[in-house]
Structure 1
C-alpha cells in the first residue's frame, strides 16, 4: 500500500476522469490526503472524500488566500468530522505572495494555535520563508501536535533540524528531477522513519512525465527514486512512508 500525503484531488483538472481515478486508487489501495486551501471549498472536498475509506483530508487557508482570512472562524465547525485529520496546507509564501507578509504571519499563527487546541498536525507550505516558518512553529509549540513539511524545499541540514523536533519531511516530484541536487540530498539524509511521499497533484509531476498532469498513481516514481538514492528496496520505502503517514496523521 502507498500513502500520498498531499494531492489536490479537488482541482478542476481532475474533473474529466475523476470517478475513474478514484475507483482505481481505491482498488490499488493508494491512500491520499487531500489538503485544504480555502474554507469555502471544505464542503466540496468533504463530498469528494467521504465515500472512500482510502481518502482523508485537511482544512486550512493557504497563504496565497490571505485576503480571505475572515474565513478563519469557519474552520472550527468542521474539526470534529472524522475525515478531517490535519490543518493545512498553511504557512508562508514569500515567492508568489511578496506583499502582506505581516498578514500572512498573523493568519499562519492563528491556524497553528487552532491546530494545537485540537491536537491536530499541521501541513506546512514554506516557499522562500524558511526562517520565519521555523521560528513560528517553535514559538507556537506546534511540534507537540505534529508537523508535516509539505513538498519540502529546504536544505538537508534544515530538514534534520525539523526531524530533531519530531517533524516529518515530505518529498515530491522534484526528487526525481535530473538536476535537483538538494531534494536528493534530503532524501538521503533524513531518517527513513521521518520521511513521507507526496505527489502534490496536479502539480510537480515526476520524471519522466513532466509537463503532464500529475496524479497519485505516479507516486511510485517518487518512491522508486528515494529507494534508489538510499540503496534500499522499493518495498522498504513504500512500507515505511505508508506507516509514517499513519503516525503523522494519527490514523
Structure 2
C-alpha cells in the first residue's frame, strides 16, 4: 500500500492551522500518512507541539529559523528543555541564510552552532536550511561534529558538491515542490545523484506548492505530486519510490507510523 510522509511543513502557520481538519483529511486521501511540523521560533514552539500532541500522525521539531530576527535567541538548555517531548523528533529548522542577510552575520553562525550542540546533547537529528551559504553551512556542520547525529538538508537547491559533502556527513537530502518547476533542472540532477536510501520528500507548506498547484497555498497532501514527479524523472516505480522515501523518513526521525486505516482526519 502506497504511503508517503511530508518531512517538512509548518502546520501552525496561517492558511493551515485554521483548516487543520481539512488539511489532515486531504493528507489521508492522498496516502500521506504522516507529517513533521517544523519549529521556526521558540515563541511558537508550544503551538507546534500542541498540534503534534493532538494527532498521532504528526510529529514536531524545535528550533529557530536562521532568517528570524528579533525573536528569543536559543540556548542549548532552552532547546533541550523544549525538545524533551515524546513527539519531538529533530532539532531545527536551523542553518544559515545569507540570501537576505547579505552581510553574513556572525549571530547566525552562533545560533547554528547552538542548535548542533543541542542536537548532539539530545542525540536527535538536525533539520538544516541553507541558502547562499553552502560553504559555511558544511564547514560548521563539520566543526561541530554534526555527523554524530546526522539530519536532513531540507528543500535542497544547492550543488551536487554540497550534496556530496552532506551525504558524507551522514545527512539525507530532501526535495520539495521546487523539483517540479521548469527552471529547476539542476535540482533534478542532484536528485539523480543522491542514493535512493538518502532521499526524502517534503512540501515546506504553506510554501512552494508543486506543479500542478504552483503559486497556490501548499499543504502536506501535495507531497504526492513531488514524489510522483521525481519517481518518473528517476525512472523508478512510484510505489517503490514512495516506500523507500517513507522508510528513509522513519529511519531518520525514528517514526512509528499509525496504521493508515487508523489515521484519523
Q: CA deviation at 1:51?
A: 1.8
Q: Secondary structure at the match of 2:9?
A: coil
Alpha-carbon shift at residue 161 of structure 1 (Å): 2.5
- Structure 1 pair 74–26 and aligned structure 2 pair: CA distance change class (3 A): farther
Asked if the contact 2:42/2:72 (under 8 Å) is kept, the reply is: no
In structure 1, the gaps of 5 or more residues are none
Q: Which residue of 2 aligns with 1:192?
A: 196
* Distance of 2:247 and 2:238 partners within structure 1: 14
Closer, same or farther in 2 for the Cα pair 1:232/1:100, shift >3 Å?
closer
Query: Aligned residue for 1:7?
Result: 9
Distance 1:26 1:225, change over 3 A: closer
Is residue 2:253 matched to residue 1:245? Answer: no
Residues 220-239 of structure 1: pairs in structure 2 closer than 5 A: 220-239=224-243
Runs of 4+ off more than 4 Å: none
- Structure 2 gaps of 5+ residues are 256-265
Q: Which range moved further: 128-137 or 223-232?
A: 223-232
TM-score, with length taken from structure 2? 0.90
Query: 1:190 & 1:231 partners in 2: Cα distance?
Result: 14
3-state secondary structure, aligned to 1:6: strand
Higher helix share: 1
| Two-structure CA RMSD over aligned residues (Å) | 1.5
**Cα distance in 2 between the residues matched to 1:53 and 1:171:** 24
- How far the C-alpha of 1:109 sits from its partner, in A, is 0.5
Q: What is the distance in 2 between the residues matched to 1:67 and 1:112?
A: 21
Preserved CA contact (<8 Å) 1:125 1:149: yes
Greater relative contact order, per chain length (Cα 8 Å cut-off, separation 6+): 2
Matched, 1:218 2:222: yes
Contact map agreement 2:138 2:165 (CA 8 A) in 1: no
Q: How does 1:170-189 map to 2 (within 5 A)?
A: 170-189=174-193
In the alignment, what sits opposite 1:18?
20
Residue in 1 aligned with 2:46?
A: 43
**For residues 220 and 69 of structure 2, what CA distance do their matches in structure 1 show?**
28
What are the Cα deviations for residues 138-178 of structure 1, in whole angstroms up to 9, with x where unaligned?
00110111120000111123212321221100000111011
The answer on whether the counterparts of 2:151 and 2:171 sit within 8 Å (CA) in structure 1 is yes
TM-score normalised to the size of structure 1?
0.95
Measured after TM superposition, the shift of residue 23 of structure 1 is: 3.9
